[in-house]
Amino acid sequence: MAASAPGVFAYGGRPQAVVVNADASFNSASNPAARGSFVALFATGEGATTPEGVDGKLPVPDKWPAPAADLSVTFGGAPGEVLFKGLIFAGVLQVNVRVPQNAPVGDAVPLTLTVGSVSSAAGRTIALK
């Protein structure tokens, strides 16, 4: 059993991660997020949470279980500011993060989620402008 095994959800068969931009639209190459804005990404494998996770339970609003371990998100290696992290469904972690001004731009900027000492597999991307 691992302490964490983070993975970022993506559209089937593509590296583009499932990301919601600040205006509630889905991020894509044709709808990139601006640097300095915040985005929401979705992941799993965050490991233990606070409060303690309950098998299969739909989290209660305002009491979202948050990863117990440190969590960070990078955009092309540039760390973002994490604004929210919490389970919104059983097995589904939402992370709201501000894209740093020094992040690279492009249709497929590498997106990495790290929980504890484990990072998500390479290959997830986000579109930034």
CB of 46 to another protein, least distance (A): 7
Closest to another protein by CB, 35 or 53: 53
Q: Name the minimum Å distance from CB 112 to another protein.
A: 10
Distance CA 129, CA 123 (A): 19
Asked whether 126 and 111 are in contact (CB, 8 A), the reply is: yes
Interface residue list for another protein (CB under 8 A):
1-5, 7-10, 12-15, 42-49, 52-58, 60, 63, 87, 90-92, 118-124
Q: Based on CB atoms, which residue is closest to another protein, 83 or 122? A: 122
Smallest gap, in angstroms, from Cβ of residue 80 to another protein? 18
Q: Which amino acid is at 41?
A: L
110 class by beta-carbon count within 10 Å (0-12 exposed, 13-18 middle, 19+ buried): middle
Burial (CB count <10 Å: 0-12, 13-18, 19+), residue 75: buried
Closest CB to another protein among residues 35, 59: 59
